[in-house]
Amino acid sequence: MPKLTLPKPAGGLQLNFCKTLACRNFGLSDEERYALQRTNPLRPALVCNECGAFPPLLNNQSVLDEKHRQETEQYGASASCSNPDCAHHNKPQAVHPEFYHAFGFSGKRQRYRCKNCSTTFVDPWSVVNPKLDIQQQILAYLFTGHTARDICRRTGINPKSFYDHLRNIAKRCQHRLSVTDSKILSKQHPLSLSSFLSPLQTTAENGVLWLSTSENQSGYVFSDTINYLDDDTDTATFEHDPYVANANMYA
Ligand SMILES: [Zn+2]
Ligand SMILES: [Zn+2]
């Protein structure tokens, strides 16, 4: 078998190791514990010398990139330091007030300055929602089963405004949720979580999966995500290559 070189660690993470709990190599990434199998040259696989399992070969950087993408999805709607290189990026002011100074106002909205990198940003949620009435109407119609076309007709808005309102409502909910999530996460230790993966549209067979993760005792859902991005990156490939920098795949 060819000599094994593991994909480079990223941010101190090396996720290529045996995943069999009872195996002596579980969690260990020393290269001599594994062999490389290239039966399918496009999908090199790791073989555990101890138990013979085939843990998938992972691109560590891609796993980190996905973690950052998920964090942005979870916390990006809340006001936080906008500098992507700062340790306070995606750490919402509403959850971590100690990371920021109040720094005047922009119109009526509160402005903050990051204590770490001095970047300033405005909290879009610090004013009363000026679109509250129309958004409450839209939600009421949605919850009672009206179609998008019907809602546009009844409220006198065009489809683009309808979807803009929906995005805005979703962002507002995401902002509120990130505060609740963080409160639970900071209070409850240890936290016991379960994840469930299922097809998003059971009859479509389009490969889109729905992954939700919740807390075991309460059933509180921490994360709800799908393996589909509507903004394809230029560098996406059809095969996952654990050794190249951007191993995003087309679904
Ligand atoms: Zn093993
Ligand atoms: Zn910062």
The Cα-based distances of 173 to 25, 100, 151, 179 in angstroms read 43, 23, 20, 10
- Is residue 194 one of the residues assigned to a domain? yes
150 CA distance to ligand 2 middle (Å): 44
User: How much distance in Å is there from the Cα of 94 to the middle of ligand 2?
Assistant: 15
Condensed to tens digits (0 to 9), the pLDDT of residues 19-40 reads 999 999 999 999 999 998 888 7
Rounded to 5 degrees, φ, ψ at 195 are: -120, 150
Is there a domain that residue 8 lies in?
yes
- Same domain as 118, residue 137: no
Both 211 and 166 in one domain: the answer is no
Please indicate, yes or no, if residue 160 is contained in any of the structural domains: yes
Residue 181 counted as domain residue: yes
What residue numbers bound the domain in which 167 lies?
128-187
- pLDDT above 70 covers a percentage of the chain that reads 92
Residue 165 lies in a domain: yes
**Span from the CA of 78 to the centroid of ligand 2 (angstroms):** 14
221 located within any domain: yes
Return the pLDDT at 225.
85
Mean pLDDT, the chain, integer: 88
pLDDT in tens, 209-247: 999 999 998 899 988 888 887 766 655 566 677 887 665
**Residue 178 near residue 168, CB atoms below 8 Å:** no
Whose atoms come closest to the Cα of 21: which ligand? 1
**129 alpha carbon – ligand 1 mean position (Å):** 55
Residue 187 has pLDDT above 90, yes or no: no
Q: How many domains does the chain divide into?
A: 4
Domain check: are 86 and 135 in the same one? no
- Per the DSSP assignment, residues forming a β-bridge with 45 are 37, 56
Confidence of residue 248 (pLDDT cuts 50, 70, 90): low
For residue 37, the CA-to-ligand 1 centroid distance in Å is: 15
pLDDT tens-place string over residues 37-71: 888 777 788 899 999 999 888 899 988 888 888 88
> Residues 126-137: pLDDT tens digits?
999 999 999 999
**243 & 195 share domain:** yes
Lowest mean pLDDT among 74-78, 83-87, 125-129: 74-78
Q: How far is the CA of 17 from the centre of ligand 1 (A)?
A: 8
Asked if 82 and 111 sit in the same domain, the reply is yes
Same domain, 36 and 53: yes
Tokens of 37: 């199998």
Average pLDDT over residues 206-211: 90
Question: What is the per-residue pLDDT for 250?
Answer: 45
67 within a domain of the structure (yes/no)? no
Asked if residue 51 and residue 1 are part of one domain, the reply reads yes
Question: Which ligand number lies closest to the CA of residue 83?
Answer: 2
Residue 68, in any domain of the structure: no
CATH of residue 134's domain is 1.10.10
Lowest average pLDDT, out of 113-127, 156-170, 199-213, goes to 199-213
User: Is the same domain home to 54 and 18?
Assistant: yes
Rg (CA), the chain: 23
The model's pLDDT over 91-123, given as tens digits with 9 standing for 90+, comes to 999 889 999 999 999 999 999 999 999 999 999
In a shared domain, residues 200 and 172: no
Ligand of minimum distance to the alpha carbon of 54: 1
Q: What is the 3-state secondary structure (H, E, C) of the chain?
A: CCCCCCCCCECCECCCCECCCCCCCECCCCHHHEEEECCCCCCCEEEECCCCCCCECCCHHHHHHHHHHHHHHHHCCCCCECCCCCCCECCCCCCCHHHEEEEEEECCEEEEEECCCCCEEECCCCCCCCCHHHHHHHHHHHHCCCCHHHHHHHHCCCHHHHHHHHHHHHHHHHHHHHHHHHHHHHHCCCCCEEEEEEECCCCCCCCCEEEEEEECCCCCEEEEEECCCCCCCCCCECCCCCCCCCCCECC
- What pLDDT score does 38 carry? 80
